[in-house]
């Protein structure tokens, strides 16, 4: 049996380098550009969504409370133009911040839209 030193046909292993340092490995610069474009687009979408939400928030009216003592926390939301419809609904009992937080944690929240559906959807 030959020892490792007695094998003349084998070359010693060359040190390996990371693919990003190896000049023989092609670099995908488009991938980096695509990642940057995607990140910028996601950032712009988030900023636009926040701006839309802020502009819409001024046009919304909401009430938070409980319709029943042991019922879920109810969030009624609608356009400010639907304010008269809020008056036609049963009154909500005030809910404390702790009650609201507990209801959110327990999944015991009911959301009601007050007024006509937006976008003409039924």
Per domain, the residue ranges of the chain are 28-57, 59-120
What does the alpha-carbon distance between residue 90 and residue 74 come to, in Å, rounded to a whole number? 11
Closest by Cα among 81, 75, 71 to 111:
75
Report whether pLDDT(105) > 70.
yes
Between 106 and 35, name the one with better pLDDT.
106
Distance from the Cα of residue 56 to its chain's centroid:
19
Order across the sheet with 93-94: list the strands: 93-94, 60-66, 73-79, 109-114
Residue 43's pLDDT band (boundaries 50, 70, 90)?
low
Report whether pLDDT(28) > 60.
no
The count of C-alpha atoms lying within 13 angstroms of the C-alpha of 52, restricted to the half-sphere facing its C-beta, is 6
Sequence-distant (6+) residues with CB within 8 A of 4 are: 10
Give the strand pairing for 109-114 and 73-79: parallel
CATH topology of domain 59-120: Ubiquitin-like (UB roll) (3.10.20)
Work out the average pLDDT over 36-63.
73
Work out the average pLDDT over 40-54.
70
Tokens 């950032």, residue located: 43
């Amino acid at each position: 049996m030959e020892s490792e030193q007695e094998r003349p046909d084998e070359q010693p292993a060359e040190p390996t380098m990371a693919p990003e340092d190896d000049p023989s490995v092609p670099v995908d610069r488009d991938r980096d550009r695509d990642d940057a474009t995607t990140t910028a687009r996601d950032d712009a979408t988030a900023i636009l969504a926040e701006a839309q939400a802020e502009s819409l928030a001024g046009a919304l009216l909401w009430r938070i409370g409980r319709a029943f003592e042991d019922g879920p926390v109810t969030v009624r939301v609608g356009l400010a133009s639907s304010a008269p419809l809020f008056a036609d609904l049963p009154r909500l009992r005030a809910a404390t911040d702790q009650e609201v937080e507990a209801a959110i944690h327990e999944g015991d929240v009911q959301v009601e839209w007050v007024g006509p559906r937006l976008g003409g959807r039924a």
